[in-house]
Amino acid sequence: GESVGLHLPTLSVQEGDNSIINCAYSNSASDYFIWYKQESGKGPQFIIDIRSNMDKRQGQRVTVLLNKTVKHLSLQIAATQPGDSAVYFCAEGLGSWGKLQFGAGTQVVVTP
């Protein structure tokens, strides 16, 4: 399918290494944050979310860190695998009813 990641920042990671993807968000009033993974020709796939009353949350092989002071979000992927190659988007929830504002995205390329 078409590449989602055209002209996006690229992170090249060797298989088995840990990946860190960073995201700056814009609205200090945002209270909900989500990471999505989007593969070519597919819709965004939910990875993990975090609420503003937390600064860290762990899932399976993934950890999200939230620093509200500097409005920064990061996604850590442990032991990166070829199947992790995709475009990763952070999104912030604006308003109590869940409108999402997406960041620009980062293309992750896993090399053997």
Comparison of 20 and 51: residue with beta carbon closer to another protein = 51
With b for 16 or more beta-carbon neighbours within 10 A and e for fewer, the 21-49 pattern comes to bebebeeeebebbbbbbbeeeeebeebbb
CB of 48 vs another protein, minimal distance in Å: 9
CB of 110 vs another protein, minimal distance in Å: 20
Residues facing 77 on adjacent strands: 19, 62
CB of 112 vs another protein, minimal distance in Å: 26
Comparison of 19 and 106: residue with beta carbon closer to another protein = 106
